[in-house]
Structure 1
């Protein structure tokens, strides 16, 4: 029998408090001063989705790199991020949107990573079955809009405009839909083998109007990791609709503000 959602959330929250306490003060340790930021995109997108944030970070004197996530398998996606992280010249903030939270959680163990930022993102524990966790919360509307052509998955145009980018001007949403990159079904089967948020300062931006990941699930994951959390009244694409708020959180993670 499926546990009542509210009861499950309360139980998990209680467990989260215990988990955070067991980690000591790691999550609350001030991040090391960093001038590098590496950004990773999730499903239904490419690296250009970070353009608004990139411009603002560069104006603040930050060295920024956006990873082109291959969207094939989790190990390959993690490897693509690790290659970019290895090229950084010092402490680096690793940022992930949506599915890329899986990548941040795994690749965040790289020694160059000084802090993690999750933007409306998945934040699994090591070995956790994320789909099973997600099913204990409300199913977001975008889920029904995923369509497959063989092993390639995409978001339908209706779901993209309404449930993924719902607070953006329609003309802009249509441009983003046109550059949507398909993902491989195998990507969804991946599980992280480690959780960098257990040992590194973490930050989380919850999208309160999210129709792609349930906002209560985002809140639960942020609380469980003991992340510095902000709530942004935005769709799943807060990095585009509210770039000032997202940039401010990333700059805080660099230790420069």
Structure 2
């Protein structure tokens, strides 16, 4: 065998070894995303985020919360998580933040993204998050005698979806899913943000929450914050911004895991 052939074989073997080592060191991608909606809405609000993330190659699952109790919403989220084939980014909007805080201790969850969302601690209720803050006057809940509440129809666009078209706001208003208001008094047993990395996307024109409240909650959980000019319906009006944060979370989690 000539020296040139031996050199070629050695070079090819070395390249194979280097390539194998590089693959072994490459971050294992997080390709699963589970989206959890909040009160007065359903999973269809995530359509823009779903379309964006699936184009990027993510496997996206949307939870349909019954909004009957925290336990029921957590159970619905855990069922979705059980179906994932590996590490997952869990995302919650508004009340969905409480849900992912409780459900996010699931072993398949690698990171949490709060989209203008609540984030109580273990032993706290959702209602306690409002202590010391003032809810903007545009957001009014119409409580019914059976314990369920809607956003007052005449206040819906201003309080929930000010940056949507009149037609979209009307459709959302008329397709509201009421929430059992007693859920806000339920104490959490777990706070996933204490053990999982967190990100927050905050709508600076949100009228469902006091802006100081949103910023305070994000700071307390140590979330990486992205602010965007949008209403409480930012999951619909700013899907790219929300998707970019979810994508960043998935990439950062993958890097840290390797």
Q: Scaled by the length of structure 2, what TM-score is found?
A: 0.84
Aligned partner of 1:238 in structure 2 is 234
Give yes or no for contact 1:32–1:255 (8 Å, CA) kept in 2: no
**Pair 1:144-2:140 in alignment:** yes
Aligned partner of 2:118 in structure 1 is 122
**Pair 1:38-2:34 in alignment:** yes
Q: Distance in 2 between matches of 1:158 and 1:149?
A: 20
Aligned partner of 2:162 in structure 1 is 166
Q: Which of 65, 69, 72 is 1:73 aligned to?
A: 69
Can you give the 5+ residue segments of structure 2 that lack an aligned partner in the other structure? 1-26
CA 1:133/1:32 → structure 2, altered by over 3 Å: closer, same or farther? farther
Aligned partner of 2:13 in structure 1 is none
CA deviation digits over 1:19-45, x for unaligned, max 9?
xxxxxxxxxxxx973100000000010
Which of the pair has more CA radius of gyration? 2
The residue correspondences of 1:32-111 to structure 2 (distance < 5 A) are 33-111=29-107
Give yes or no for contact 2:125–2:188 (8 Å, CA) kept in 1: no
Aligned partner of 2:175 in structure 1 is 179
Name which of structure 1's ranges 146-155 and 35-44 shifts more when overlaid on structure 2: 146-155
Aligned partner of 1:192 in structure 2 is 188
Q: Scaled by the length of structure 1, what TM-score is found?
A: 0.84
RMSD over aligned Cα, in angstroms? 1.7
Post-superposition offset of 1:143: 4.3
Post-superposition offset of 1:149: 4.4
Can you give the 5+ residue segments of structure 1 that lack an aligned partner in the other structure? 1-30
Name which of structure 1's ranges 221-230 and 187-196 shifts more when overlaid on structure 2: 187-196
Structure with greater contact order relative to length (CA < 8 Å, sep ≥ 6)? 1
Q: Distance in 2 between matches of 1:158 and 1:96?
A: 26
CA 1:107/1:32 → structure 2, altered by over 3 Å: closer, same or farther? farther
Runs of 4+ in 1 over 3 A off after TM superposition: none
